[in-house]
Amino acid sequence: MKVIGFHPDADAEVTEAAQYYEIRQIGLGSDLLAEVERGLNQILMNTEATPKIGKRLRRKSLWRFPYNLVYTVYPDRIQILACAHQKRRPYYWRKRLK
C-alpha cells in the first residue's frame, strides 16, 4: 500500500481552512478535517478514480466543502500538493511540482 505525504504548504492549507471554519461555527473545522481524511482514504483505495488535471496530477473534490485535494502519484507514494479552494487562485500550487 502506498503512503500519503503532504507538501508542507498543503498541510498548512488544511490547518488554516479548519481554523477558519472552526471560528465560523464550533465543530465545523473538525468536520472539514474528517472530510479531508475521508478523501485521503478514497484516494488510497482507488488512486486513479479521480479526474486528471495534468499529465501526473489528479484532484479529489471534498464533498461538503469547496476544496480539492490536488495530488500526484509516484510508484511508492502519493503526494498531496495542495488543499485548494475551488473558487480562488486556480493553479497557484503548480510551483510545488518542482
Mean pLDDT of 27-36: 97
Is 39:48 a contact under the CB 8 Å cutoff? no
Cα–Cα dist 7/96, whole Å: 8
Q: Is the pLDDT of residue 95 over 90?
A: no
Q: Where are the alpha helices (DSSP H) in 5-84?
A: 8-24, 28-45
Domains of the chain plus CATH, in order, are 3-91 (3.30.2310.20)
* Strands 77-85, 3-6: pairing kind: parallel
Mean pLDDT of 4-8: 95
* C-alpha cell of residue 85: 479552494
Query: Tell me, what's the pLDDT at 98?
Result: 67
- Mean of the per-residue pLDDT values of the chain: 92
